[in-house]
């Protein structure tokens, strides 16, 4: 049973944000940057954000050469460029909002390892660099074959390596804690352990049913408008939504004293990725090995993928080195037929901002800005 005080102070909001990942928190941030007195609540079902935003690899990237070629295929030139612009400006927004030292942003550049099946991409490098000219002052992709030996990778089928000086890396945990602090400081109420199970639209408000461990019945919160930022978990609230969850497995090694590389690395069209974290290596991917099974929102590790990742780590990335694996985890992404996020008004009061794919660190802040602007706009665009 709720008290008089609880009813007065906790139940009424101007804007409700469902999901406390990077998109939900960025939406709350922009709402309050633009309307400082707005009553904003972020509802997060986990003890802390528990989807992809606290479980990713911390690449501050906007697409490798082969990924952009694939985007070009599915989207065409203009939409591919618009997507790169959104990702890159999203990264800038994140860095400016929180500060490079706070999120431990480091710019060691990014590399793509090109193996035989992707070799044709090398011939497209100049074409992609030309396309990207309006967005970047200098060419984005450069051949970097001379570094392969220096970094010590063992891949007999490696055909080349491509360097991107604009790619960086962050400390994901520090970034998410800083974003939470920022949003709280602006005045948002963040309620964790609060799962939204349903909602109902009334004439002038939305009523959200929130499950919590204390009461048997859901607690009902009221907001003028709401945004759903639940990414891979959105089917629970919107069964017809056009997205598929995709699980990602990641490992981190113990420190390696003679680690010979710094930077972020991609291969197999982005299905595998690794980076240094100080002297440790973070390595993940392999979803394409078992794509049906990995279309899941369950946080469990696929043993087949685990063993392939371990093999790649020891034989290809760190051959001949003494390597101990310190930890494994999984996180859940959301994918569609192409890589543009799903930004979709559901009604004049409810917006959906989800399907961030594997580059939400980059695009999350911009998607949050767009969501906040929609919620704040006086005449709302209908679905
Ligand atoms: C293993 C892995 C590695 C990745 N590596 C990178 C990378 O290096 N660089 C990069 O840019 N991107 C990376 N990504 C992708 C990036 O992390 C995501 O695109 C981004 O975090 C998505 O943010 P989001 O806020 O949309 O979703 P999420 O972070 O998943 O947030 C959604 C939140 O909604 C909550 N929620 C769900 N249902 C409800 C409900 N009913 N009620 C209340 N709360 C609910 C969830 O608990 C969750 O916290 C990676 C992802 C994974 C999984």
Question: Do residues 312 and 272 touch, judged by C-beta distance below 8 A?
Answer: yes
pLDDT tier for residue 382 given thresholds of 50, 70 and 90: very low
Architecture per CATH, 108-168+243-335: 2-Layer Sandwich (3.30)
Atom 30 (ligand 1): residue with closest C-alpha? 51
Q: Which CATH superfamily groups domain 4-54+174-242+339-376?
A: FAD/NAD(P)-binding domain (3.50.50.60)
3-state secondary structure of 237: coil
In the reported structure, the alpha carbon of residue 254 is separated from the centroid of ligand 1 by a whole-number distance in angstroms of 25
Report the distance separating Cα 40 and Cα 14, nearest Å. 6
SS3 120: helix
In this prediction, residue 373 carries a pLDDT of 98
What is the reported pLDDT for 156?
85
Q: What is the pLDDT of residues 154-195, one digit of tens each?
A: 988 899 999 999 999 999 999 999 999 999 999 999 999 999
Sign of the CA dihedral 258, 261, 262, 267? Answer: negative
Residue 307 has pLDDT above 50, yes or no: yes
Angle between helices 65-75 and 77-98 (to 10 degrees): 130
CB 184 within 8 A of CB 139: no
Instruction: Please state, for a pLDDT cut of 70, what percent of the chain lies above it.
Output: 99
Ligand 1 midpoint to CA 333 (Å): 6
What backbone torsions phi and psi does residue 194 show, to the nearest 5 degrees? -125, 100
pLDDT in tens, 334-379: 999 999 999 999 999 999 999 999 999 999 999 999 999 999 997 6
Nearest residue (CA) to ligand 1, atom 14: 358
- Pocket probe mutation, ligand 1, options 56, 103, 339, max atoms within 8 Å of Cβ: 56
- The answer, yes or no, to whether residue 42 has pLDDT greater than 50, is yes
Distance from C-alpha of 195 to C-alpha of 294, rounded to nearest angstrom: 24
For residue 53, report the distance from its CA to the centre of ligand 1, in Å.
Answer: 4
- The size of the chain, in residues, is 383
* pLDDT tens digits, 231-246: 999 999 999 999 999 9
For residues 265-289, give the mean pLDDT: 96
Q: What is the pTM of this model?
A: 0.97
The DSSP code sequence of 159-209 is EEEEEETT-EE--HHHHHHHHHHHHHHHT-EEE-S-EEEEEEE-SS-EEEE
| Domain boundaries for CATH 3.50.50.60 within the chain | 4-54+174-242+339-376
Confidence band of 380 (pLDDT split at 50, 70, 90): low
Average pLDDT, the chain: 96
Q: Ligand 1: residues within 6 Å at CB?
A: 18-24, 43-46, 49-53, 55-59, 195-196, 229-233, 236-237, 248, 250, 284, 331-333, 354, 356-362, 364
Could you tell me which of 51, 48, 110 has the C-alpha nearest to residue 355? Answer: 51
Q: Which part of the chain is CATH 3.30.9.10?
A: 108-168+243-335
Phi, psi of 255, rounded to the nearest 5 degrees: -55, 140
Q: Quick one: pLDDT band at residue 383, thresholds 50, 70, 90?
A: very low
- Judged by phi (left if over 0) then psi (alpha if -120 to 50, else beta), residue 341 lies in beta
Locate 346 and state its tokens. 């559901």
Give the percent of the chain with pLDDT over 90.
96
CA 154 to ligand 1 center in whole angstroms: 33
- Of 153-167, 196-210, 216-230, 367-381, the range with the lowest mean pLDDT is 367-381
Best residue among 58, 231, 283, 366 to mutate for probing ligand 1's pocket (most ligand atoms within 8 Å of CB) is 231
Maximum Cα–Cα distance across the chain: 70
pLDDT at 253 over 60: yes
Task: List the structure tokens of 347.
Answer: 């009604």
Whether 331 and 46 have beta carbons less than 8 Å apart is answered as: no
């Amino acid at each position: 049973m709720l008290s008089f005080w609880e009813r007065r102070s906790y139940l009424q909001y101007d804007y409700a944000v469902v999901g406390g990942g990077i998109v939900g928190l960025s939406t709350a941030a922009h709402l309050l940057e633009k309307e400082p007195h707005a009553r904003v609540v972020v509802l997060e079902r986990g003890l802390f954000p528990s989807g992809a935003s606290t479980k990713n690899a911390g690449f501050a990237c906007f697409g490798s050469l082969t990924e952009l070629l694939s985007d070009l295929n599915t989207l065409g030139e203009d939409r591919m460029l618009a997507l790169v612009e959104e990702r890159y400006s999203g990264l800038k927004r994140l860095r400016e909002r929180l500060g490079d030292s706070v999120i431990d942003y480091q710019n060691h550049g990014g590399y793509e390892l090109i193996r035989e099946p992707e070799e044709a991409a090398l011939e497209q490098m100049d074409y992609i660099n030309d396309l990207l000219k309006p967005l970047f002052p200098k060419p984005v992709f450069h051949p970097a074959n001379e570094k392969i030996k220096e970094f010590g990778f063992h891949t007999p089928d490696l055909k080349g390596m491509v360097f991107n000086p604009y790619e960086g890396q962050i400390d994901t945990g520090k970034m998410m804690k800083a974003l939470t602090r920022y949003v709280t400081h602006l005045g948002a109420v963040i309620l964790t352990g609060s799962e939204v199970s349903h909602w109902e639209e009334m004439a002038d408000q939305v009523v959200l049913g929130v499950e919590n461990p204390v009461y048997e019945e859901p607690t009902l919160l009221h907001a003028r408008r709401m945004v759903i930022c639940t990414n891979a978990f959105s089917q629970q609230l919107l069964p017809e939504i056009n997205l598929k969850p995709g699980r990602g497995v990641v490992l981190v090694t113990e420190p390696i004293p003679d680690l010979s590389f710094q930077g972020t690395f991609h291969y197999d069209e982005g299905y595998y990725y690794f980076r240094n974290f100080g002297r440790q290596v973070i390595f993940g991917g392999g979803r394409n090995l078992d794509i049906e099974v990995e279309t899941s929102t369950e946080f469990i590790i696929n043993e087949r993928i685990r063993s392939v990742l371990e093999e790649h780590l020891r034989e290809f990335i760190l051959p001949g080195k003494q390597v101990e694996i310190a930890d494994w985890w999984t996180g859940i992404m959301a994918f569609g037929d192409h890589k543009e996020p799903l930004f979709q008004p559901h009604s004049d009061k409810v917006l959906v901002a989800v399907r961030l794919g594997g580059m939400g660190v980059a695009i999350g802040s911009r998607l949050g800005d767009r969501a906040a602007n929609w919620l704040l706009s006086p005449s709302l665009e209908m679905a």
